[in-house]
Copies of this chain bind each other. A is one copy, B any other.
Amino acid sequence: MCSIASDSTATLLVSCPDQRGIVARIANFIDSNGGNIIHTDQHVDAEESLFLTRVEWQLDRFNLPQELIDPAFGAISRPLEAQWQLHFSNMRPKIAIWVSKQNHCLLDLLWRHQAGELPGEIKLIVSNHPNLQGISQQFNIDYHHIPITKETKAFQELKQISLLEEYDIDLVVLAKYMQVLSADNLPNFPAVINIHHSFLPAFPAAKPYHRAHARVVIVSGATAHYFTEILDEGPIIEQDVSRVSHRDTVPDLIRKGKDLERIVLARAVRSHLQHRVISYGNRTVVFD
């Protein structure tokens, strides 16, 4: 059970076929129950005739007990044919981080967690290598080394999934995890965010820096996206670029790429944890 701090909020993410009166209906639901809306934003995808909205309100003085909000909203949303998520700021999402050998994204997320920048709890680190165990100890977070080979992959992923259940994980962050999750097991994962080492859709797959270097681009990028069964094709949450030049060697591109990866992944994770992202098909809406 969670007590309602005076600044606790609820957030609704709703998508439904576009139709008249949605904004009023949702606002009335909150207002008539005594909620004070502190953020509302909406978007209409005209091609898909899809209405998407994010509404956040203060739970203080809200008449409905927290556990009844979801069923109560169901009565509103059914005639709208809506899909929705309901999140509470006093229930912080539990995060697992998947890594291999590179430490830059992991360290960055741990520092930000420690600095209070990420509204969630990092509970678990899983790696197919033992290398980053020392870092987990510094930050006092459980580390599970689950080696992967072609032969053991399907089986080892079942171990991962049972860890996800054991730790009650809401979000998996692939922070330079150099294995592709099996499409078969993916439905048993919660939301999964991946960081891709290039500006998608340019340079999908491996060795983007070497290929960028051979092509001499002027701008290099990184992309954070939800992981889906189609590799490097999941909905993009965040991306950014930095300028490169003929002076940049492959190690320079890698160094600049690591800076981008840290920043882009952290922003995407933060947006997700703040419940500002709705994905549909291979698209996203990221409310500001």
Interface residues of A (CB under 8 A from B): 20-25, 27-28, 30-32, 34, 36-46, 103-104, 107, 111, 115, 117, 138, 199-203, 214-219, 221, 223, 235-236, 238-241, 245-247, 249, 255, 258-259, 263, 282-286, 288
Contacts and interface: CB of A to CB of B under 8 A. Distances in A.
A238 B255 contact: no
6 contacts: A27-B27, A40-B42, A104-B115, A107-B111, A201-B215, A216-B282
Contacts of A246: 43, 45, 283-286
Most chain-B CB neighbours within 10 Å: which of A22, A201, A283? A201
Most chain-B CB neighbours within 10 Å: which of A23, A24, A36? A23
Contact of A288 (B201, B203, B245): B245
A38 B44 contact: yes
Interface SS of A by simple majority: mixed
Count of identical protomers in the assembly: 4
Most chain-B CB neighbours within 10 Å: which of A25, A34, A215? A215
A239 to B, nearest CB: 4
Contact of A27 (B24, B34, B239): B24
B245 A286 contact: yes
A28 B38 contact: no
Given A24-B30, A104-B111, A138-B138, A219 B199 contact: yes
Contacts of A238: 218
A257 to B, nearest CB: 12
A245 B218 CA distance: 18
A217 B241 contact: no
A238 B223 CA distance: 21
Given A24-B27, A24-B30, A104-B115, A200 B217 contact: yes
A234 to B, nearest CB: 11
Given A20-B36, A38-B44, A201-B217, 5 more contacts: A21-B36, A23-B30, A115-B255, A245-B288, A246-B283
Contacts of A111: 103-104, 107
B219 A239 contact: yes
Contacts of A247: 43, 288
Nearest to A247: B288
